[in-house]
Structure 1
Amino acid sequence: MGSCASGTQVPKSTLRSGSRNPPFSTRPDLNLNTPWARSRSSWREEEPVTKPSRKLVGKCFCGAVRYEVADEFVYAANCHCSNCRRTTGSAFKPFAGIEREKFRLTTGDDRLLIFGEESGHDAHCGHCGSLLYSVVREGAYVHVAMGTLVDDPSIRPTAHIFVGSKAKWFTVTDDLPQYKGHVT
């Protein structure tokens, strides 16, 4: 016979090997209906289970600059403003927005060519010229150029913005909402 903390004798056949305490079912003094046990049990059940965020990888054309970003984008759009058209050399810039702290350069930060200020700029690879991202909203967010993502993000563009200044030679052919300026 073994004994538990309360002094109750427990048949050795019910003891788990390697355990210092017998199974709960052998403890007559253990009441799982006490307020503490209920609140502790409820707390465990209600505690949110959060999975680690999936990390996406992105890079420039030549591979000199690489980054990783959490797949937790807040919004995504196709921007047709003249600045985005010029910096990409395309009809529009597909981008996905995320909080700045969820974006991290992994290689080539010394190869970046920055146009703008700390609180708002476009970042290109200084070797191949690829636009990688833009820092916006007073430095709080990063707009990742979706074409630089190696991995497939869970978000898709939900609108066309600044179509009031889109290239005259380009026609939007999808059914996404179109806004003359920012989404309102």
Structure 2
Amino acid sequence: MPPSTISPDSGPRRRVLLRLHTAAGLLPLLLLLLALSFGAAGDAAAAQRVLRGTVSHVTDGDSIWVRPARGGAARPVRLLGIDAPELCQRGGAAAREALARGVLGRPVLLHTRGRDAYQRVLAQVGTEGQPDVGAWLVAHGHAWAAARGPASRYAAQERQARAARRGVWARPGAIEPRAFRARYGSCR
């Protein structure tokens, strides 16, 4: 019986029916909240897709263009977890050349993690011979680990490159790309 047909003098029966009606009214809300939480998890899973393609262009030491294997236009991709020197910065051209030698014209596997502020796909990039190109670039001194501290994805590779004086670490005074951009702006 709907609540509107319950008479005020129904007593305990009215209270039971009102409780049932209130619970039934909350059920759609609870189902909606549950669906939204699964939807958010689904969006996170979708943001972490694996894509295949071929590198058609290397912009700089941490940005490439990938033509999807399934067809379509090439998409800009930013290597996740690294920050390579700007092209006009010491080590910038060498970083781009190292990345180009490793990936240009080759098939790659992208483990995507969303997009950056410039709408580039953020991804861990791998090739047949190098499952994590970002790790290789940092280990050879062509890029910094983007995150700081021991929890950084590539902190160990950066420590090894610094100790061995590879790439940007060959000479003292290397400036982190973000500090360089803050001081001098972008090279573009």
Band of TM-score, shorter chain: under 0.3
**Higher normalized strand content (fraction of residues):** 1
Question: Which entry has the higher C-alpha Rg, 1 or 2?
Answer: 1
TM-score under structure 1 length normalisation: 0.27
TM-score under structure 2 length normalisation: 0.26
**Higher normalized helix content (fraction of residues):** 2
